[in-house]
Amino acid sequence: MVIILRESVKGKNLQGLLNVISSLTLKVKKVMIHYIIDGNNVIGKIPELVKFQKKDKQRAREQLVYLLQNYFHNKTIGLTLHFDGYENIPLRLSKGKIVYSGKKAADYFIRENVEVIKNRKNITLVTSDNELKNFGKACGCRVISSEDFVAMLNKGKTVDKEKPEIGSKSDIEEFKRLFDVK
């Protein structure tokens, strides 16, 4: 390619150069967003699932997985769903995996999950846990509250990555403090 361009320029064949340039097609790989979801936290924001959770934790988990499958079915994403506790009946997630925390808190594994992903700006962390939100922001992740995510599930829309949500005044002040901006 470089040889063709050099020869076209050397021979002052401007039309040849334009033809080569116009024939180039750049294929840009679409960046895959990876959602890391605090499952119990999201369940706690959906009234119907809260009712299930009190009587049958497994059913609440199944319903959340069902909602996620429907929401993400035609989207190119990665997904890790974290639950506190142990697996009961195995659940499958076509776009990703489910992690059960066992004796530890799911927050531990969520942090670990964020840390092992190299390009953290492609992570969307879904939680309303303040410590996790701050951790995610400090790591460069996009953070969506569980409440906002549930609203997205209900609307059936994804948040446009090109139009980031405007943070609250306290979020903006915190970022200024963290990055020493005045």
Report residue 32's pLDDT band, with 50, 70 and 90 as the boundaries.
Answer: confident
- Of 24-38, 39-53, 82-96, the least confident: 24-38
Q: Radius of gyration (Cα) for the chain, nearest Å?
A: 22
Beta bridge partners of 79: 35, 96
Q: Helix, strand or coil for residue 155?
A: helix
For the chain, list the domains and their CATH numbers: 1-29 (no CATH), 33-178 (3.40.50)
**Range 44-78 burial, b when 16+ CB lie within 10 A, else e:** bbbeebeebbeeebeebbbbbbebbeebbeeeeeb
Nearest CA-CA partner of 81 in 94, 51, 129: 94
For 131-180, how does the pLDDT look when each residue is reduced to its tens digit (9 = 90+)? 999 999 999 999 999 999 999 998 874 444 444 445 555 666 666 666 66
Predicted local distance difference test score (pLDDT) of residue 105: 96
- Of 26-30, 31-35, 79-83, the least confident: 26-30
Report residue 116's pLDDT band, with 50, 70 and 90 as the boundaries.
Answer: very high
Q: Enter the pTM of the model.
A: 0.70
Report residue 21's pLDDT band, with 50, 70 and 90 as the boundaries.
Answer: low
Q: Is 36 left (phi over 0), alpha (psi -120 to 50) or beta?
A: beta
For 8-18, how does the pLDDT look when each residue is reduced to its tens digit (9 = 90+)? 455 556 666 55
